[in-house]
Amino acid sequence: AQSVAQPEDQVNVAEGNPLTVKCTYSVSGNPYLFWYVQYPNRGLQFLLKYITGDNLVKGSYGFEAEFNKSQTSFHLKKPSALVSDSALYFCAVRDNGGSTLGRLYFGRGTQLTVWP
C-alpha cells in the first residue's frame, strides 16, 4: 500500500531563511507525489507535483520540491521564507493502479511557522 510520512509535526523558521518540510514515501511502482498547503479555515491548495522528469519541481508561491528516489523522499523547500507561508503543509502520494486508482494518501501534516 502507498503511504507518506512527515516526520516533523512543526517547523519553525525566521523570515528570510530557507525552509525545508520533509516527506518520505512508500509506493509500489512509480510515485506520483504532491504537496498541498492548508491555511486556517480554507481548503487544501495544490502547490506542486512530481510525476516524472526533473528531480527538482517548481511550484506555486516560490516553493519547490526535490524528488530523491534512492532516499524515497520528496522534501518541500523555499529559499527565503515569508511570514505569509505560515500554514499546514501536506505531502501526498497517489495510488497508481488497481481498484484504488486515483486515491491520494496524505501525511499527517507539518505546521510551518515563519516568525518575523
Q: Which residues bind another protein (CB under 8 A)?
A: 32, 34, 36, 41-46, 49, 51-52, 90, 92, 94, 96, 99-109
CB of 80 to another protein, least distance (A): 25
Contact partners, residue 107, CB within 8 Å, separation at least 6: 4, 5, 6, 23, 90, 91, 92
CB of 32 to another protein, least distance (A): 6
Nearer to another protein, 10 or 116 (CB): 10
> Using CA atoms, how far apart are residues 105 and 34, in angstroms rounded to an integer?
10
> Using CA atoms, how far apart are residues 16 and 3, in angstroms rounded to an integer?
32
What's the distance, CA 2 to chain centroid? 15
CB of 14 to another protein, least distance (A): 26
Nearer to another protein, 43 or 116 (CB): 43
